[in-house]
Structure 1
Amino acid sequence: MTDWDLKKLRILRALDECGTVTAAAARLSMTPSAVSQQLSLLSRQLGAPMLEPYGRRVRLTSAARLVLRHADRVFGQLEQAEAELAGYLHGEAGEVRIGAFATAITGLVVPAVARLRVSAPRLAVRLVEAEAAEAFELLACGEVDLSVSLSVRGSAAEDPRLVQLPLLDDPLDVALPLGHPLATEADPRLAQLADAPWIFGSSGPWREITLGACADAGFVPGRAHTAADWAAILAMVGAGLGVALVPRLLSRAGEADGVVVRALPADLPSRRVVAAVRAGTEQAPPLRRVLAEIVKSK
């Protein structure tokens, strides 16, 4: 029976994910020559070539991809074993690294971490701000243990290495300049802003969310100004330059100067916030504890 070398399999997987020997070596803190040498040894051990020339670079062979299909399942089982072992050895201790978008950090994660510092002081939580697809990428490559992101296409839902967990539907409110006709209306409707100048980004999930919410209300918003930073968006609204949709997680922090934030109960626009973990780690006690506290912040 073949003596499988997990270290060499991890190097092979890193090359597959990174695309080049140089990039894989950088991720693994190895030299490119050491990566090539280990993969040559793996080829000899398995009796099949793992790499083939591709221009000035190399790429994985069909045999290497066959090996990786099985190796991914093995690594998933090993991660599950490590997670269960952590439950026995550490209990409420350990470290959880979280990648989350900005408003989730302020509205969900930070309150959870504050409570954990009191109830589980030996459980360390490290935060990395990362938007949507980036958070899933950090999770997939092992840079974080938990991602809190928006539900977007082409992310965890399509990656068999990740498990996605719904957190909440975050309502969308509308930010209006002080004195706007809808600022004091009893039941404002999104369609009443069809001709208003709108403020949102030129790309990314929030652009799609804004366009989708307005489409559901029957119009295409006319973008008068482009911004992605919430402080900049609210400053523009406060200056009377336009209107914008804002997540309830953001408006919890209070209204900015010159801005009135109104709910849209008749339209009920929202965005879906999800958590994701690597397959096999769902039952890790530190992860479960952190997730439970994040859910309490809803």
Structure 2
Amino acid sequence: MAVDRLRVLREFADRGTIGAVAEALSMTPSAVSQQLKVLAREAGVQLLEPDGRRIRLTDAGHALVVRADEVLAALDRAVAEMAHYRASPRGRVRVALFPSGAALLLPHVLPALADSGVDMVASDEDLPPSEASRLLADYDVVLTHRDERAPSLAGPRIATRVLMREPTDVLVAPDHPLAGRTEVSPAELADETWISVRGGFPVDDVLRSIANLTGVRPRIAQRLNDFRVIETLVHSGYGIALMPRFAVAHPDLVLLRLSGVRAARLYELATRPHAEKRPAIAAVLAAFETAARRITAD
């Protein structure tokens, strides 16, 4: 089986359509289809099957994708071993980060890599944790976040490492009746109006936990994913919010610790399995871990 065709198969598993694979690999759709047909002949089994008006991987196709990951990872390791002989780590590493995590960590990570020979290219991707697998089609490292009670994203095609834990607090305006407190219970928040994030993100998971504890469905006035906008609305008195502790920037707002609820998000770095064998990627992962230790120690 040709390595290039295994790479085409993996791209199809990541992107889901022939057209998306063609665009990613700068090929024509017909060329992608032909490569997949040849690979099926080489494998001796059907790799794709109809799914309505589209096509999807068969069970055999899914199994071969896992082996393709292993083959391509082995090639990456071979490249990495040769890089050691060239006094690496060197090279470009593409990193996707959720925006508030990027704001917190990049000011520490980028200076640490400045003279390392590693060119880290960062992009902010405001997507829920479930999208990490898709992002790995375009990035070497994905910084994602999840509620600490949610399962890890780790699996046969994704390797993860927990970077840090960030508590989630209740954010209120300085003239709010609770502003003089340092801690608040879920029952005391049952009648509040909330400014929250879109569903699927860790902060919304904590809000649902509060609802389960109190038996009261939270009254959510707005759903916005920009924390600066949320802070502005809270300061203006439109409601209260849940906010990751290190993400708060507004100097006048009051943070209250939430009692009786496991309220935190975990920062998690996701890569392809064995990606850390590449010295450049290993250097980037180490820089993030050092930055996280520094932030949580403060």
Name the structure 2 match of 1:255: 250
TM-score (norm 2): 0.82
- Answer whether contact 1:163 1:277 (CA < 8 A) is retained: yes
Name the structure 2 match of 1:281: 275
TM-score (norm 1): 0.82
- Answer whether contact 1:188 1:264 (CA < 8 A) is retained: yes
- Kindly indicate whether residue 80 of structure 2 is the aligned counterpart of residue 94 of structure 1: no
Which one of the candidate residues 152, 171, 177 is aligned to 1:175? 171
Instruction: Compute the displacement of 1:210 (Å).
Output: 2.5
Counterpart residue identity of residue 93, structure 1? R
Instruction: Compute the displacement of 1:138 (Å).
Output: 1.0
Name the structure 2 match of 1:162: 158
Q: What are the within-5 Å matches in structure 2 for residues 40-59 of structure 1?
A: 40-45=37-42
> Is the deviation greater in 55-64 or in 237-246?
55-64
Counterpart residue identity of residue 207, structure 2? T
Write out per-residue CA displacement over residues 5-24 of structure 1, whole angstroms, 9 at most, x where no aligned residue. Answer: 11122223333443333332
The DSSP-based 3-state class of the residue aligned with 2:209 is: helix
Structure of larger gyration radius = 1
Alpha-carbon distance in structure 2 between the residues aligned to 1:287 and 1:42: 30
Instruction: Compute the displacement of 1:216 (Å).
Output: 5.2
Alpha-carbon distance in structure 1 between the residues aligned to 2:285 and 2:32: 37
Instruction: Compute the displacement of 1:186 (Å).
Output: 4.4
Instruction: Compute the displacement of 1:244 (Å).
Output: 0.5
Alpha-carbon distance in structure 1 between the residues aligned to 2:133 and 2:56: 24
Counterpart residue identity of residue 170, structure 2? V
Which one of the candidate residues 263, 270, 292 is aligned to 1:269? 263
Alpha-carbon distance in structure 2 between the residues aligned to 1:104 and 1:50: 39
Name the structure 1 match of 2:142: 147
Question: Structure 1's 73 and 228: CA in aligned 2 closer, same or farther, altered over 3 A?
Answer: same
Name the structure 2 match of 1:292: 286
- Kindly indicate whether residue 106 of structure 2 is the aligned counterpart of residue 112 of structure 1: no
Counterpart residue identity of residue 127, structure 1? A
- Kindly indicate whether residue 129 of structure 2 is the aligned counterpart of residue 123 of structure 1: no
Alpha-carbon distance in structure 2 between the residues aligned to 1:267 and 1:57: 44
- Kindly indicate whether residue 199 of structure 2 is the aligned counterpart of residue 203 of structure 1: yes
- Kindly indicate whether residue 222 of structure 2 is the aligned counterpart of residue 230 of structure 1: no
Name the structure 2 match of 1:184: 180
Alpha-carbon distance in structure 1 between the residues aligned to 2:39 and 2:73: 21
Question: Structure 1's 37 and 178: CA in aligned 2 closer, same or farther, altered over 3 A?
Answer: same
Question: Structure 1's 188 and 284: CA in aligned 2 closer, same or farther, altered over 3 A?
Answer: same
The DSSP-based 3-state class of the residue aligned with 2:139 is: coil
Instruction: Compute the displacement of 1:60 (Å).
Output: 5.0
Instruction: Compute the displacement of 1:46 (Å).
Output: 5.0
Aligned-pair Cα RMSD in Å: 2.9
- Answer whether contact 1:104 1:249 (CA < 8 A) is retained: no
Counterpart residue identity of residue 193, structure 1? L
Instruction: Compute the displacement of 1:56 (Å).
Output: 6.0
Question: Structure 1's 276 and 218: CA in aligned 2 closer, same or farther, altered over 3 A?
Answer: same
Alpha-carbon distance in structure 2 between the residues aligned to 1:190 and 1:54: 46
Percent of residue pairs bearing the same amino acid type:
33
Alpha-carbon distance in structure 2 between the residues aligned to 1:281 and 1:148: 14
